Structure 1
Amino acid sequence: MCLKQGESDSESEELKKLAKWVLDIGNGQVSPPRVCNLPLNENQILIPSQFCGVQNENTVDNMIFSTYPNFSHEGHNTQYLSERSILTPTNQTVGHLNSLIIDKLPRESVSYFSVDAAEEFGGIYKDLNEAFPIEYLNFLNIDGMPPHDLKLKVGAVVMLMRNLNQTLGL
């Protein structure tokens, strides 16, 4: 699903309808779809065709291009970026999309790697690497933490989030 600022009154009205539909889903006011008079899983949602871009092939590249049509020239412009977003259900999907979008920026990427160590281990030190192998630590994807291999380019916009509870000492 992608959202961008409406460029006309009719587009703005469609975006308002989409926003209301998304809120209705969040509030539990949209019933699961029925196929052949059988209800589907309660976690499944039928997206109305008016919100689907069925005129184009459904690919990730088309979704990125339709959301960020002038990305190669405007990708550094915070106003341009703040008017568009791609909504995804998981952080894993966010990471994948961010990687694809960063690849579209000019220049070489630089990789920043996480530290390969675990702390506060309850066992003896020689068992530490067996309990937490480097491959395992590199595979972890924890909310609020960057991935093991964070690729960035000069000009990429980065949003830093602070944990308010940690800031307040809670």
Structure 2
Amino acid sequence: MDTPFGGKPIVFGGDFRQILPVIQKGRRKDIVDASLNSSYLWDYVTILKLTVNMRLCGIETDVDTRSFAQWILDIGNSDVGESEDEVIDIEIPQDLLITDVDDPIGSMISTIYPDYFLNLGEEGSYLSSDSICASQRDAGFNNELYTIDFLNSIEVGGLPKHNLRLKFGVPVMLL
């Protein structure tokens, strides 16, 4: 009998309710049909459910934090909201809404990062690596063509520039 992936165990991680395939001009049915749990592979999957919110585990949390975590789980389990024609209306609690209509982005930043603009320190420079991989140097490349100035001038979409200047204390998200 042929087994998927040559019999090797494969771990699929994530919440499949939140990570859906992208189907151009697809309807809800098309997207659901293309998802992993609609695949023939799903018959071979063993589902392990995580039941403990590790962000809340072992720390003292207030009632608001626990109720928010439960609300998020309830949304994922479709236990919140009213369904009408495959559309579920969910009422967002008032304390989660951004009510500043004049500057919603600024309001969101000040809510997520309180005192963000007050606590930044001096600026620091972070430089990229400016050498060629050792295995490439030994492969017969003409190292004279790849000067440090040339390497530092390369700008590729999706990568930071050679000289990344950030203020100390600025939040940075790496993807």
Pick 1 or 2: higher relative contact order, CA cutoff 8 A, min separation 6.
1
Question: Is TM > 0.5 for Structure 1 vs Structure 2?
Answer: no
Higher relative helix content: 1
Task: Name the larger-Rg structure.
Answer: 2
TM-score by length of 1: 0.37
